[in-house]
Structure 1
C-alpha cells in the first residue's frame, strides 16, 4: 500500500493485545488524510471512546452531503437482513433532502427479497444527540448499547432489537478528509461492531422469529464519489470471539486508504489506518470472480474471504457497479508459536465510480460543482435533539434542531414542536446542557476547516455574529459566511478547540474555546493562543440566531479565574 509514511513494524507479542492509539498520528495516503492522534481528537472535541451523539445526525441534509445508518443481522437459521436509512441516495448527494429506506432479507432457503422506498422529506426525523432516525412509521433508535429497528418495504419487513456486546469504535477522529480540502470528507463510525439480535422478519406469505448476531455502523460526509474516489471495498466478518470491519478507499490517482476496526469479545484490539491492507483476488471485483480477498493488519491478523453469494438490493446495472454479498471467511491471529485460525462468515461490498471533472460552472459555488457531475449508482452506504423535521427541498439549508433526550415514542407530527425531556436542572427548555456542548462543538469544528459554505449553513438567514473585541457585528448568513472566508484566508491554520459547554437559565448556550493559529500577513504575525467565551442563541430548528465571542484579553484563564461571567452577556448584536 502506497504511503508517504511507511507503516512501522510491530514486534511479535505473546498475545493479541490492543494497539496503543496514542502513538498514532495522521496518515496522508493518496490525497486522503486520516487523523488518529490524541491532539487531533482534542481539536475535534472527541475522546477515544465514541459517545451516543456521534451516532446521531451529523450533517444537515443540504446539497453536497450524504448520511445513512446501516444495520445487518446474521441469523442462526441462515437468514440475513440488511436495513439502511438514508438522507438521500448517494447519486443524489448534490441535491436536497430525498430520504430513502433500503431493506434486504434473504430467507433460509436462499431467496432474496429486497426493496427500496422513497419518502417525503417531511416524514424524515433525526436526533442529533443519539441515533433516532425515522421515515414515517419506519424507525431506528438506540444509544450505542441497545437499538430497535423497524422497517418495511413492499418486499420485506423487519422488527429487530440489537444489543451491543463489543465497544463502539472509530478510526481516529472518524473521518477521512481530502488532504487539500478538509471540508470534503467521509465519516465512518462503527457504533456496534457486534451484538446479539432478535426479533422477526417478514416476506410475502411468511413471518418468523429470528435470533443471531448483528452489526451497526453509520456514514456521513461531503466527499464526492467519482471525483474524489474511484472505488471502495468493505467487509465485516464475525469469527469466534473476533469481529473485524475493514474498508479501503481508492482514489483516481491510485492512492489507497485502509481503515480497520478489530474487536475480541468486549475488548477493542484496534481502530487504525496503520499497517492495514485489503486485497481482492483476482482483479478488483470480488463478486465477478470465484476467488477471494484477504485483509491483513501488520503480521498479527489475516482474514480470508471465500467465494461470494449475492445479497444485492434491486437496481439496474449501471456504469458504476455496486455489489453486496455474503461469503464464508476465516480469521487467523498470529502470536509467537501459536497461530490460530477461526472460521466465520462475512458481509462485503464493492463499488466503482466514474472519474468525473471537479469543476463548477462560472459563478457556481463549490458545493454546486457536485450537481453537474456524472451521477453514480446508489450503493446504499459507504465507508463513521429533538427528532425534528428536515428542511424542505426549497428551503435554505439550516441545521437540524439541537439534541434532546426523549423516550422512544412515535415521531411527533412535523408541525408540532417538540419539548426536550431529561433536562439538566436549571437549564432552559430550549437549550439543554447536552445541546450547548453539541452546538459549540459544531461551531468550533466549522471554524477549524475552510468550508465557508458549511460554516454559514449553521446560521439562520438573519443571524447576527458579534466579534466583541473588534466591536463589529456581522448580520445575515451571507455576511457571516464571507467573514469566515476572510478569517480563514488571513489565518489558514486557524483552529478552535472546545473546552466546556453548558446551557443557561435564560435559554442560551455558552462555551469556552481555545483559539490557535498563525496570521499570514506581510510580515507574518506571531502565533497566537487565545481563550474565548462564546454565547449562542438557537432557533427551534437548531440554527444559530445570535452568537458573540468574548476574548480573554485580561488573561483570566491564565490566572485561574473563571472565563464565563456569572450572568451570560447580552448577545443581541
Structure 2
C-alpha cells in the first residue's frame, strides 16, 4: 500500500462489494476549463466487420499538450495507419456538466437514454477527407471502479468512467473522401485529471476482452518512486450485460519482453492475469498494430530537454493478441478464446 494514493474502491479491500451503476453525470464534463493543468477527453473505438479499426478522441484539453481538439485514427485492413489530430480554440468547445453532450466545432457526441442502463451514443467526427459517424448501442452496463476517482498526494486526482464497456456499432466512416457503411463492435471511456500523469507514472497497460459470454476491462498503472512504485490495478468482469466483478485484487505476470526500435522501448509478449485463483486470462501478442515514440509529440526544445536532460523515453504500443479466458461463475467453468486489442504506454 501507499499512503500517498487514495484508490477509488468502495471496499471491502481493493474491490467493490457493491457495484453501483454509473449516472449520466459521470460521462459529462468534469473539469474547469479555466484552471491550469486540468485535462479531459472522451475516447471511442470500433473494430469493424470490413477489417478497419477506427479511433476517435474528443478532447476538452489534450492529455499531454492541453489543447482543445479532436482526433481521428483509422487502421486499414492492409495495416496502413491514418491519423488526423485537429486543434481547436477552447472557445470552440461546448459540453454539459449533467450528461454527455459534447461539441467541438461541428464534431459532436450525443446520447439517447431511452434505455438508461443500455444507452445509445452517436458520435460525429468530420475533418477533411476523413470522418466517423457512428452509433453505439450498449451491450454491457456502464461501469466505473469504485467512485471512479483516484487521489494522488494532497490535491491531484484522476477520474475514469467506462460508459460503454462493449457496444454494437453501426454507421459510416469516410476514408480518402470515400464513405462506406460499416458495422462492428466498440468501446467508449472517459478520463479527466488535474496534473501531468507522466510525473508519477512509469508505464501502464489497458485493454479489454470480448468473448462469447464475458467482457473484461483491465488497467495496470505502475507508479514511479514519487508514489512508492505503487501499482494501481483495475479490472471489470461482466457476464452478458451485467457487471459481476469490480476489483483491483489480481496478480499480473509479464513475460517475454522484446525491444521495438520504432517505440524505443520493450513490451511484454505475454500477460497473465490471475484473480484470486478463480479467474484467469492470458494475452499472447501476435502483432504490433501501432508503435510510436511519444517524444515526437513534443516541440523541438521540449523534446531535446526530455530526451537529453530528463532521459525520458516515452513510447506507445497498440497490440493484437490471442486471449485465453478461464472463468468460474455460478457453479460453472468456462474456457473461451479469441483475439483482442490492448495498449501499453511508457512515460519514463
Both proteins in one fold, TM over 0.5: yes
Q: Which interval holds the TM-score relative to the shorter structure?
A: 0.7 to 0.9
Structure 1 residues 155 and 30: alpha-carbon distance in aligned structure 2, compared to 1, 3 A threshold: farther
Residues 254, 268 of structure 2: 8 Å contact kept: no
- Kept in 1, the 8 Å contact 2:257–2:269? The answer is no
SS of residue paired to 2:198: coil
Deviations along 1:543-565, whole A, 9 cap, x unmatched? Answer: xxxxxxxxxxxxxxxxxxxxxxx
Q: Structure 1: 5+ residue runs without aligned partners?
A: 5-28, 40-45, 355-573
Task: Report deviation, 1:174.
Answer: 0.4
Tell me the distance in 2 between the aligned counterparts of 1:30 and 1:302.
29
The 1-side partners of 2:273 and 2:293 are apart by 28
Q: Using the alignment, how far apart are the partners of 1:125 and 1:312 within structure 2?
A: 33
CA distance in 2, matches of 1:344, 1:228: 34
Shift of 1:277: 3.3
| 1:309-355 superposed Cα distances (whole Å, 9 cap, x missing partner) | 3246896377311233333323221369964321233221211223x
Q: 1:347 aligns with which of 330, 336, 341?
A: 341
2:130 paired with 1:156: yes
Moved more, 275-284 or 169-178: 275-284
Relative to its length, the structure with more strand (as a share) is: 2
Alignment of 1:304-453 (within 5 A): 304-307=282-285, 308-311=287-290, 316=296, 319-334=313-328, 339-354=333-348
Alignment of 1:167-178 (within 5 A): 167-178=141-152
* TM-score for the superposition, normalised by structure 1: 0.51
Please report the TM-score for the alignment, with normalisation by the length of structure 2.
Answer: 0.81
Gaps of 5+ in 2: 13-17, 298-302, 304-312
After superposition, the Cα gap between the structure-2 partners of 1:263 and 1:338, relative to the gap in structure 1 and judged at 3 Å, is: closer
Q: CA deviation at 1:266?
A: 1.2
- 2:219 pairs with 1:241: no
SS at match of 2:200: coil
Over 3 Å counting, the alpha-carbon distance change for 1:133 and 1:339 in structure 2 is same
Q: 1:289 to 1:72 in 2, by over 3 A?
A: same
CA distance in 2, matches of 1:267, 1:157: 32
1:77 shift after superposition? 2.4
In the comparison of the two structures, how many residue pairs are matched? 315
Asked if the contact 2:272/2:280 (under 8 Å) is kept, the reply is: yes
Contact 1:68 1:219 in 2 (8 A): yes
- How far the C-alpha of 1:259 sits from its partner, in A, is 0.7
Say if 1:36 and 1:134 are closer, same or farther in 2 by CA, change over 3 A: same
Partner of 1:229: 201
State the partner residue of 1:281.
255
Residues 1:91 and 2:68 are matched in the alignment: no
Instruction: Say if 2:41 and 2:62, in contact at 8 Å, map to a contact too.
Output: no
Q: Once the two structures are superposed, what CA deviation does each residue of 1:479-517 show, in whole Å capped at 9, x if it has no partner?
A: xxxxxxxxxxxxxxxxxxxxxxxxxxxxxxxxxxxxxxx
| Residue 80, structure 1, aligned to residue 53, structure 2 | yes
SS at 1:282's partner residue? strand
Are the counterparts in 2 of residues 30 and 255 from structure 1 also a CA contact under 8 Å?
A: no
